[in-house]
Amino acid sequence: LQNGTVPGERGKEDKSVKRGNWGNQIEFVLTSVGYAVGLGNVWRFPYLCYRNGGGAFMFPYFIMLVFCGIPLFFMELSFGQFASQGCLGVWRVSPMFKGVGYGMMVVSTYIGIYYNVVICIAFYYFFVSMTHVLPWTYCSNAWNTPDCAGVLDGNLSSHAALNLTRLLNTTQKRTSPSEEYWRRYVLDLSDDIGNLGEVRLPLLGCLGVSWIVVFLCLIKGVKSSGKVVYFTATFPYVVLTILFVRGITLEGALTGIMYYLTPQWDKILDAKVWGDAASQIFYSLGCAWGGLITMASYNKFHNNCYRDSIIISITNCATSVYAGFVIFSILGFMANHLGVDVSKVADHGPGLAFVAYPEALTLLPISPLWSVLFFFMLILLGLGTQFCLLETLVTAIVDEVGNEWIIRRKTFVTLGVAVAGFLLGVPLTTQAGIYWLLLMDNYAASFSLVVISCIMCVAIMYIYGHRNYFKDIEMMLGFPPPLFFQICWRFISPAIIFFILVFTVIQYRPISYNDYVYPTWAISIGFLMALSSVICIPIYAIYKVCCSEGDTLLERLKNATKASKDWGPALAEHRSGRYAPAFSPSTESHLEVQPLQPEKGAAASPLQGSNGSAHSQDSRL
């Protein structure tokens, strides 16, 4: 089959000359795997497990994956691929809901800002690892406290060994050198979120490096990033496997893994656990970020995105579980060494990857080499996601303006977004930066994602109409979506999401970081960030209804929700059935190899055929 054409159809060029396409299908799958498999798989999923009752967390996690994650993943891929538009352009399907696309852009902006800060910290660790002895190996540095107990300090001298023994036999708070290096040296943590202190210049420099790398990889859009992912999406698995083999040979590793796998069933009744499971699925798979729609929009029209969605979703979640084994084997070792419970040894959030992992790396032979490899892996994991976040914003802007001038200058749009992202990330490199990072992570990119996904489901299934959408997919793939997905899209996914929202509101608890409790004003800012993405939906809907034609409110609502005339496949050669233009056969055959111009006035008015005629034409495909 040529270029993904369905059986019985003659081979087509099937390329969008104007927007561009992936070089081949492997590029799309690897990019999507790189997008889904990110830093969250290493520092968020194991942390949520450790906070939410170990193995008990797996149950709500896989429930959410099957009934929410995979169906929504397939929906977004098929949505973007069918229209060949970014997260704004696809809402020609029901213009009143274009605010959902703007909400996705706001969410992607927030995540893109703080995500690159985590990458920049990985860059910092990557650079400082290029030394003979890792700086967090021993407790003999200027930033260390008397409470420090290093894994290797006992080998230094009898004095150090006695000091370690005394620490282990007392009730003082014992900390690892990697934790002190993280808190007291890298972050130089301030005492309050409002006390920004000074900008940490090494982190600022690394933030600049990370944004430059992201820009260079996206300088030619998907043409350049599609080549980069061959390495960035595959190499992390090599390093994870090496660390897994080393981790399970450590003393106490079994204890950590049992903590990871043994369920604490009492926590399964806590709505926060279910909320975290839903958030992690959305966060990890990238649902409602707009990235999936954007990446799929560069696919060829007949690509089997159903197959891709299953492969990518399962790969992503398997990676999360695999990374959890690596993390918990090391946490078990640290707990065994320090004589405390597994739950006491790790920092929250990103600190898990920058405390537990570095501690483990000091135990490996030639530890600087493994440290360089590991943090290089973290950088690659992060960049895979960051590429798509930036491309989502750039594609949305370019598709929305849509004229030849901005398409030719897409590189400058990419540069502008990258510079803005760097400047907005500067406050996160201050001494209070980690507080702000966690605030954004917990509020800006949490349940607003769930709300956006729920509204997207409702808009496509009930406003545009499930029968219309199923026929669109059949026209594109050659078969309708399986019955399970039809039921999930229409009933199960929106219902689960709605009830999770209700339970979360009932059992809401304010954010904290270790012993630090966030002040009320900071939590208010968090809620405003969460609200800023969701509020786009009603604001744009009201604006669209006001601008629509009609004498009564009901008429205006109908016109605002009705699919626009230029909704449908982007290339004229794919516009069959109810999307077929009202032209003679000779004109139609001429149009078949020409991209449909999306500008106003340039597109032909499609003939709205009946469902019966659309069905008969579609069935030929």
| Positions at the binding site for Na(+) | 34, 36-37, 41, 284, 316, 381
Q: Which residues belong to the annotated binding site?
A: 34, 36-37, 41, 284, 316, 381
Distances (CA, A) of 319 to 72, 165, 200, 288: 19, 38, 33, 21
| All residues at 6 or more sequence positions from 440 whose CB lies less than 8 Å from its CB, including other chains | 110, 111, 113, 114, 526, 529
Question: Please, are residues 504 and 328 in contact by the beta-carbon 8 Å criterion?
Answer: no
DSSP letter string, 467-491: HHHHHHHHHHHSSPPPHHHHHIIII
Going by the DSSP 8-state scheme, the letter that residue 459 receives in this structure is I
Distance CA 484, CA 494 (A): 14
In order of 213, 231, 319, 554, the CA distances from 111 in angstroms are: 17, 23, 21, 38
Tokens 């996690």 — which residue?
61
Cross-strand bridge partners of residue 517 = 512
The answer to whether the beta carbons of residues 225 and 232 sit under 8 Å apart is no
Question: For 513, what's the count of Cα atoms within 13 Å in the CB-facing half-sphere?
Answer: 25
**Do the Cβ atoms of 499 and 271 come closer than 8 Å?**
no
592 phi, psi to nearest 5 deg: -60, -30
- The gap between the terminal CA atoms of the chain, to the nearest Å, is 14
In 466-613, beta strands by DSSP E: 512-513, 516-517
- CA dist 169 and 338 (Å) reads 10
Find how far residue 304's CA is from the centre of its chain: 22
Distance set, CA 26 to CA 37, 234, 300, 377, 600 (Å): 16, 12, 12, 21, 34
- Contact criterion met (CB below 8 Å) for 434 and 122: no
Q: Quick one: how far is CA 97 from the chain centroid?
A: 22
CA dihedral 103, 106, 108, 109 (to 10 degrees): 170
Q: CA 535 to CA 541: how far, in whole Å?
A: 10
Residue ranges of alpha helices (H) inside 185-304 are 201-217, 222-232, 235-248, 253-261, 271-285, 291-296
431 in Cβ contact with 196 (< 8 Å) = yes
At 87, give phi and psi (nearest 5°). -70, -10
